[in-house]
Amino acid sequence: MILQAVLGFLLTQQPAPQTGIVYRTVAGQELKLDFYPPVTASAEPAPLVVAFHGGAWISGTREQMAQFCIEASKRGMAAATVSYRLGPRSKWPAMIEDARAAVRFFRDRATEYRIDPNRIGAAGASAGGHLALLLGTQDVPEGPAKTSSRVQAVLNMFGPTDLSADYNPGLSALVALQVLGKPLDQAGDVIKEFSPVNHVDAKSAPIFTIHGKADVVVPFRQAERLDEAARKAGIPHTFIAIENMGHEMPLERPEVLKALQDGFTFLTTTLASPADK
């Protein structure tokens, strides 16, 4: 009974997420996010991690990243999982425009959500990792205040980094048509803009990558290309390569669970306030 009472008390301490927040409306379509405050209250504004689901830019829901956000909130960070427009109904750059808008939404409302606008990270798996990487390697200010869309840390879980190389031509052709809206042989310029490796430079955010060596959906070589670009630019890149892991995160495997825990540590450390570092 005592244990049950203690567990019940701890569960009540998990702040309820604010769900279904409309952060953007495009052509009559409301785009929503769910916000998870940090478990431990603090007088200091919290860092924020914005999370993006996978699904090849054509499927998936923000609820897929709910548990990730819960875990982030337990570590003292605020977190948000974001819906974004999907193909084939919407074509690139709709997805990244929405991701940038979500970051600006929180920067413009930092006081309301008690977050630090200078300590925002992005995380995602697969297509979501791709969006997170672009948020860390580009900045597209917008709005009256020219609000920045760049994040200060990226946790990339097997995200595509260069659509021009390594992939099965049939898969590349499908992505080109359904996501980019062009035949593969006519999409060269869009693919260059679409690929994070082409945007990594000295201003890019530190990156933490987890990628399985047995991934046949997003080839492992994609992570190596990102690592090469990061090294060339001189930005911090922690690269965790996991043997016999495919396009998944089997957390029952100790080495995979440790990699994700290390990813959370990377976020909390990189987004720590100067006083905490």
CATH code, 254 = 3.40.50.1820
How many domains does the chain fold into?
1
Domain assignment present for 235: yes
Domain assignment present for 216: yes
Domain assignment present for 9: no
Contacts of residues 21-26 at CB distance under 8 Å and 24 or more positions apart, as own/partner, are: 23/82, 23/101, 23/102, 23/105, 24/98, 24/101, 24/102, 24/105, 26/85, 26/94, 26/98
Q: In this predicted model, what pLDDT tens digit does every residue of 83-118 receive, in sequence order? A: 999 999 999 999 999 999 999 999 999 999 999 999
Domain assignment present for 71: yes
Whether the model clears a pTM of 0.75, i.e. scores above it, the answer is yes
Domain assignment present for 13: no
Domain assignment present for 10: no
Domain assignment present for 5: no
Q: In this predicted model, what pLDDT tens digit does every residue of 194-250 receive, in sequence order? A: 999 999 999 999 999 999 999 999 999 999 999 999 999 999 999 999 999 999 999
The yes-or-no verdict on residue 2 having pLDDT over 90 is: no
Are 58 and 11 a contacting pair, CB within 8 Å? no
Domain assignment present for 182: yes
The range of the structural domain enclosing residue 113 comes to 18-270
Residue 277 has what pLDDT? Answer: 65
